[in-house]
Structure 1
Amino acid sequence: MTKASDSSETAGKLLAAGMKLFGERGFKATTTRMIADQANSNIGSIAYYFGNKRNLYRAILTHISERMQDKFRLYDIERRDHTFRSPEQARGSLKEIVRLLVRTFASEGEVGQWLLLVMREQADPSDCYDLLYEGVFDRVYTILGVRIAYLMEKSVDDVDVVIECHTLIGQIVFFLVGRHPLLRRLKRESGFDERLLESVEQTVFSHLEHYRPPT
């Protein structure tokens, strides 16, 4: 192993350790000693690679933001033409994005590792919250909002559209947050299989049919 790869591996271990501990305990209750021990590294490595605990925290949120952008394919979706010719086309585009989000959040893997820390930032934003909000959350709201606004014949900034976006995202995210009680209720020890994922998708899709112009 080269010095460069060894250096990268150490920094990666510190990021992973910090992500876990900050999520479980919060920023104030997590010490640099705890992070170094979790990463099997010496305490000076945090200062060497990141400068201090706050910079490590920012690096972790930056990493999560970038990975969420990749997972949700935000750049690809944002580059598409958002001029819809019919409600069916807009609803089809919305379903495609919802399917991507459902399948991302139903997978416990990498996204599950971010969960506690992201939830903490949502509940009690730190001065680093903008890294997540501007990098991911606001962009997802806009992507969904453009489509919902078209279907409801309202502005993307209309309060009803914003609330519909918030509700839709909450429904999808809860399949990760609430996966354990759901799988236990269904007696599924192996997690989400293809049939269950399709059932989840169809349930969420049924809610999209309510996005219509005011009568």
Structure 2
Amino acid sequence: MTEARPVRRGGYRKGEESRQRILEVAIREFGRVGFTAATTRTIAQQAGATLPSLQYYFGGKEGLYRACAEEIAARFIAMTVDAAQGAAEALVAGAGDLRAELKRTMAAVARAMTGSDAAGLWGAFVSRELLAPGPAFDVMLEKLFAPGIDLIAAMIARVQGREEADEPARIRAMLMIASLTAFQSGRSVALRVFGWDDVGAAQLAAITAALDAEIDAL
């Protein structure tokens, strides 16, 4: 019994590595050509996996697509959870500097959307899903879009002296978040316009400073 445990652990580790490799390839392929044009055969080949293994992990094309959305949401949440929790706690307590918490939250969102190495990869997938909602739209709406807009809108409303998030606050929140897509899905345009080689630490600092100024003007 004890001799079999390392084998099982090794098998699980290899299985998880294979699953993650398929996800990485699938996010890129779905982002490149969209849900309809992408094929599980191509994804499996590019991931060095077999079609049966892809079906075993994800159940098929739609299951894989939804798993990609779940993966993107999980990574984004992991990158922003500390700031989001701090903001939520400040809202509940009704204490602290809410403007500073809003800045911290938007800085975390900016890092996740534009400053991470995977941002461009995620951006293509998310942009396609926003333009032509598919099987993953409900996943992203429930786990990313709606909670993010709700939290930021609540903070904007409170900073402006209102107790609850209203339509103007939600519109402002959506505009604030959407402005960052110019440096994510529109990264190539931003690089050309600003003469940047990449969106690195200095560029992210400039983006964050612009967000801070917008928040100061609320």
TM-score by length of 2: 0.85
More helix by share: 2
Q: Does 1:210 align with 2:209?
A: no
Deviations 1:41-98 (A, max 9, x none): 2222222222211111111111111111111116633652314457xx2211111112
Q: Does 1:77 align with 2:92?
A: no
Q: Which amino acid aligns with 2:217?
A: H
1:57 to 48, 54, 65: 65
Partner of 1:199: 206
Q: Distance in 1 between matches of 2:16 and 2:195?
A: 41
Q: Distance in 2 between matches of 1:193 and 1:63?
A: 24
Q: Distance in 2 between matches of 1:125 and 1:169?
A: 19
1:124 to 129, 132, 135: 132
Q: Does 1:42 align with 2:44?
A: no
Aligned partners of 2:154 and 2:165 also within 8 Å: no
Q: Please, which moves more after superposition, 17-26 or 149-158?
A: 149-158
Aligned partners of 1:105 and 1:111 also within 8 Å: yes
TM-score by length of 1: 0.86
Q: Distance in 2 between matches of 1:3 and 1:173?
A: 39
1:33 to 41, 49, 54: 41
Q: Which amino acid aligns with 1:107?
A: G
Aligned partners of 2:113 and 2:184 also within 8 Å: yes
Aligned partners of 2:73 and 2:144 also within 8 Å: yes
Aligned partners of 2:129 and 2:137 also within 8 Å: yes
Q: Which amino acid aligns with 1:163?
A: I
Question: Identity rate of aligned residues, in percent?
Answer: 24
Partner of 1:101: 109
Aligned partners of 1:154 and 1:161 also within 8 Å: no
Aligned partners of 1:145 and 1:165 also within 8 Å: yes
Q: Distance in 2 between matches of 1:154 and 1:79?
A: 16
Shift in alpha-carbon separation, 1:194–1:7, aligned structure 2, 3 A: closer
Shift in alpha-carbon separation, 1:77–1:98, aligned structure 2, 3 A: same
Structure 2 alignment gaps of length 5 or more: 1-6
Q: Does 1:91 align with 2:99?
A: yes
1:21 to 18, 26, 29: 29
Q: Distance in 2 between matches of 1:113 and 1:57?
A: 14
Give 1:200 shift. Answer: 1.9
Structure 1 alignment gaps of length 5 or more: none
Aligned partners of 1:156 and 1:162 also within 8 Å: no
User: Counterparts in 2 of 1:157-168, with a 5 A limit?
Assistant: 157-168=165-176
Shift in alpha-carbon separation, 1:29–1:195, aligned structure 2, 3 A: closer
